[in-house]
Amino acid sequence: MSKAIVESKFSFEGQKSVYHGKVRDVYNIDDELLVMVVSDRLSAFDVVLPKGIPYKGQVLNQIAQKAMKATEDIVPNWIISVPDPTVTVGKLCIPFKVEMVIRGYLTGHAWREYKAGKRILCGVELEEGLVENQRFEKSKITPTTKADNGEHDMDISREEILNQGIVSKEDYAKLEEITIKIFQRGQEIADEMGLILVDTKYEFGKTTDGEIVLIDEIHTPDSSRYFYKEGYADRLANGEQQRQLSKEFVRQWLIENNFQGREDDVMPEMSDEFVESVSERYIELYEKITGEKFVKADADNISDRIQSNVDAYLKSVSE
Phi, psi of 280 (to 5 degrees): -65, -35
Percent of the chain with pLDDT over 90: 85
pLDDT tens-digit readout, 228-248: 999 999 999 999 999 987 777
CA distance 296 to 2: 10
CB 289 within 8 A of CB 219: yes
- Give 140's strand partners: 103
Looking at the chain, list the stretches that DSSP marks H as alpha helix, in order from N- to C-terminal side: 56-69, 108-115, 158-163, 169-192, 232-237, 248-256, 272-290, 302-318
pLDDT of residue 88: 98
pLDDT of residue 318: 87
Sequence ranges of the domains in the chain? 96-249
Measured CA to CA, the distance from residue 319 to residue 307 in angstroms comes to 18
What contacts 193, CB < 8 A, 6 or more positions away? Answer: 288, 289, 290, 291
Question: pLDDT tens across 27-85, in order?
Answer: 999 999 999 999 999 998 889 999 999 999 999 999 999 999 999 999 999 999 999 99
Q: What are the φ/ψ torsions at residue 163 (nearest 5 degrees)?
A: -65, -35
Query: CA-to-CA distance for 191 and 228, rounded, in angstroms?
Result: 9
For residue 149, is pLDDT > 90?
A: no
State pTM to two decimals.
Answer: 0.89
Q: Does the structure show a pLDDT above 60 at 150?
A: no
Q: CA-CA distances (angstroms) from residue 233 to 109, 224, 243?
A: 21, 20, 11
Mean pLDDT across the chain, nearest whole number? 94
Average pLDDT over residues 193-205: 96
Amino acid at 130: L
- CB count within 10 Å of CB 1 equals 9
1 pLDDT band (50/70/90 cuts)? Answer: very low
Q: What is the pLDDT of residue 85?
A: 97
Q: Say what the pLDDT of residue 170 is.
A: 98
| 77-135 pLDDT tens trace | 999 999 999 999 999 999 999 999 999 999 999 999 999 999 999 999 999 999 999 99
Q: Residue 264: which pLDDT band, with cuts at 50, 70 and 90?
A: very high
Which residues on neighbouring strands pair with residue 25, listed in sequence order? Answer: 20, 37
CA-CA distance, 316 to 191, in Å (whole number)? 40
Q: Which CATH number fits domain 96-249: 3.40.50.720, 1.10.260.40, 3.40.50.1000, 3.30.470.20?
A: 3.30.470.20
Is the pLDDT assigned to residue 151 strictly greater than 90? no
